[in-house]
Chain A
């Protein structure tokens, strides 16, 4: 490397102290978010659903070609019961609150296997009737459900981002990557947020699972086989979808990740105090990283099934785990890029050059496309095949105007914008364009998680209001503050990392 002495750099420890402005900004976001959340909670509609009430409980009845269809009969009975509820929404809620009463009129009859909500006429036209379980006022959930659903969105979002940061560290170790050595303290700080995300998610699944998770409600009722409420599908899934496994599994998986994270962090800290040239820590970390990657690869899917996919308990998608990983991974890369840009602008990370920023920009670009690939794979196959129990998931997202806008905003924010903006080399090296794309991606993927959670958990009661904005800002502020604090704990440069020199001279040419 002697011939590169024209831009020689010095590799020294850098002690980070959070600049006052950054601290104020993070705490300010946190406090504003908290205030907005509280305002949002207190202004929630009083345990009735505005949208339901304004609709007067009218359920859209689709034209059915074949009146003999059993679905049509079920529907007729269904519409007949609805207006009564529409006029008085408080009563059914009281019933629901008093032990989550399960109305027999639209329960999980054995007919559920044939799905009474779906009508297929002779020409092959599939018409989905609104699912009684979520759309019907008799199943109205407490207004606070919206708060819990939001907590799940944000808690899960920032939890999987933190875990993906740990995956970034691990994957760079097992790939023997050199370029990332200079920035590795940033993802190392980011995954310290895992416990906070876990607490938020645990709060939801311990205190509000009956309202969020349809199957938990069903498990709670535990109808006998052969009774009108018996649901073959949910009963069949109960070996996996049960409260014990939900809580224990979540704690177990996330704890394992965090223990690996702590181990990697402690080895990384010890490495700073050894002699230069000692690769024993690097080897150990590579081994731990390999073990973590295997465990993560399997269990992150299970975590996504447990926490998110089970909201739509009758539905399943085999690509869902990868889809969630893609969301978490690209957002994590985006945030790593943001923190690196911030630290550079604050005068730290002197050995990080435009080349590293360029690489992070490439990562954001590439994994936005990866996310789109997975997102479309799930959508396309279900859309093509049009199997009723699969289409139900997208029906919920297309039928509601608000969800529909958000659904297509997903594609614009998470694919079209980053794809077009980050296509050129200059934009991948420019902090301003990267910053713009980072904001778009962060909001876009939050929107993605929102769309995974909301339609199945609170349905048409969902809307982007003060509560949603507030809680996102709260979590964002908390995350940034937490990570900045974690960054002060050790040198920003891993001076004894075997590849630190390679990273300092990282250059891919003109």
Chain B
């Protein structure tokens, strides 16, 4: 799994099968049924987090922690390099009879730099990965997915469209749709 999650983007995808729900429990039933039939769920869009749904649709653990570690390491190395260059290499400076190289006095700078780089690095990677930068057109499937509708998305190439639609209907979806190239059509 790459650092950038391709899953979050809906661009450049084939036919998508959407099931729109109004009820959390019906959505959970549908997700379980799809999983039971071995149909991979691309994603579920909900206005609020639903406890346990992530495990059912097989959301993988985030890799943001790897980024955090790498950013921290970068910050630590940069701080070490900076202090070494400034205080040891370029302009050796002894303050208060303290040792010149790798003194305890380096620790606060190293610590702060590590924390700074980790925090900023994680924030930037999080925004990049989730396409949350300012000005990016949001990919909403339905305006009400941020309000009171929940949408299950399955890619048609990985599943039988009829089977998916029948699962949607049998579990109480208020609407079933197809989405091809950004255009949605309601399927009765």
Give how many A-B residue pairs fall within 8 Å (CB-CB).
41
B1 to chain A, nearest CB (A): 13
Q: How large is the interface on B (under 10, 10 to 19, 20 to 34, 35 or more residues)?
A: 10 to 19
Which residues of the other chain, A, contact B105 by a CB distance below 8 angstroms? 380, 383-384
User: Is A67 an interface position by the 8 A CB rule?
Assistant: no
Contact present for B97 and A124 (CB under 8 Å): yes
A3 CA / B57 CA spacing, docked (Å): 13
Chain A residue with the shortest CB-CB distance to B72: A423
B41 to chain A, nearest CB (A): 14
B111 to chain A, nearest CB (A): 9
A119 to chain B, nearest CB (A): 13
Q: Kindly identify which residue among A126, A379, A384, A509 contacts B54, using a CB–CB cutoff of 8 Å.
A: A509
A125 CA / B96 CA spacing, docked (Å): 8
A473-510: contact bitstring with B at CB < 8 Å (1 yes, 0 no)? 00000000000000000000000000000000001011
Chain A residue with the shortest CB-CB distance to B31: A3
Contact present for A125 and B104 (CB under 8 Å): no
User: Is B107 an interface position by the 8 A CB rule?
Assistant: yes
A124 CA / B96 CA spacing, docked (Å): 7
Contact present for B52 and A510 (CB under 8 Å): no
Q: Kindly identify which residue among A125, A380, A423 contacts B108, using a CB–CB cutoff of 8 Å.
A: A380
**For residues 395 through 425 of chain A, which have their beta carbon under 8 Å from a beta carbon of chain B?**
423-425
A416 to chain B, nearest CB (A): 13
Contact present for A510 and B28 (CB under 8 Å): no
A150 to chain B, nearest CB (A): 30
Q: Kindly identify which residue among B59, B97, B107 contacts A380, using a CB–CB cutoff of 8 Å.
A: B107
A12 CA / B89 CA spacing, docked (Å): 67
Which residues of the other chain, B, contact A376 by a CB distance below 8 angstroms? 107
User: Is B11 an interface position by the 8 A CB rule?
Assistant: no
User: Is B55 an interface position by the 8 A CB rule?
Assistant: yes
B73-98: contact bitstring with A at CB < 8 Å (1 yes, 0 no)? 00000000000000000000000111
User: Is B7 an interface position by the 8 A CB rule?
Assistant: no
Contact present for B60 and A510 (CB under 8 Å): yes
User: Is A2 an interface position by the 8 A CB rule?
Assistant: yes
User: Is B134 an interface position by the 8 A CB rule?
Assistant: no
Known contacts A510-B59, A510-B60, A125 near B52 by CB under 8 Å: no
Known contacts A2-B25, A123-B97, A124-B96, A510 near B54 by CB under 8 Å: yes
User: Is A175 an interface position by the 8 A CB rule?
Assistant: no
Contact present for B25 and A3 (CB under 8 Å): yes
Q: Kindly identify which residue among B25, B69, B96, B104 contacts A423, using a CB–CB cutoff of 8 Å.
A: B69
Which residues of the other chain, A, contact B69 by a CB distance below 8 angstroms? 423
Which residues of the other chain, B, contact A424 by a CB distance below 8 angstroms? 65
Contact present for A380 and B104 (CB under 8 Å): yes
Q: Kindly identify which residue among A4, A123, A126 contacts B52, using a CB–CB cutoff of 8 Å.
A: A4
Known contacts A379-B104, A384-B105, A507 near B96 by CB under 8 Å: no
A39-60: contact bitstring with B at CB < 8 Å (1 yes, 0 no)? 0000000000000000000000
Which residues of the other chain, B, contact A2 by a CB distance below 8 angstroms? 25
**For residues 94 through 117 of chain B, which have their beta carbon under 8 Å from a beta carbon of chain A?**
96-98, 104-105, 107-108
Which residues of the other chain, A, contact B54 by a CB distance below 8 angstroms? 509-510
A384 CA / B96 CA spacing, docked (Å): 8
Residue from B52, B69, B108 whose CB has the most chain A CB atoms within 10 Å: B52
User: Is B51 an interface position by the 8 A CB rule?
Assistant: yes
Contact present for A125 and B51 (CB under 8 Å): no
Chain A residue with the shortest CB-CB distance to B49: A509
Contact present for B104 and A425 (CB under 8 Å): no
Contact present for A383 and B104 (CB under 8 Å): yes
Which residues of the other chain, A, contact B55 by a CB distance below 8 angstroms? 507, 509-510
User: Is B188 an interface position by the 8 A CB rule?
Assistant: no
A430 to chain B, nearest CB (A): 15
Extra inter-chain contacts (20) besides given A124-B97, A386-B97, A509-B54, CB under 8 Å: A2-B25, A3-B25, A123-B97, A124-B96, A125-B97, A379-B104, A380-B105, A380-B108, A383-B104, A383-B105, A384-B105, A386-B96, A424-B65, A425-B65, A507-B51, A507-B55, A509-B59, A510-B54, A510-B59, A510-B61
30 CB contacts below 8 A, A to B, read A1-B51, A3-B25, A3-B28, A3-B51, A3-B52, A4-B51, A123-B97, A124-B96, A124-B97, A125-B97, A126-B97, A376-B107, A379-B104, A380-B104, A380-B105, A380-B108, A383-B104, A384-B96, A384-B98, A384-B105, A386-B96, A386-B97, A423-B69, A424-B65, A509-B54, A509-B55, A509-B59, A510-B54, A510-B55, A510-B60
Residues of B within 8 A of A (CB): 25, 28, 51-52, 54-55, 59-61, 65, 69, 96-98, 104-105, 107-108
Q: Top 3 A-B pairs ranked by shortest CB distance?
A: A3-B28, A510-B61, A4-B52
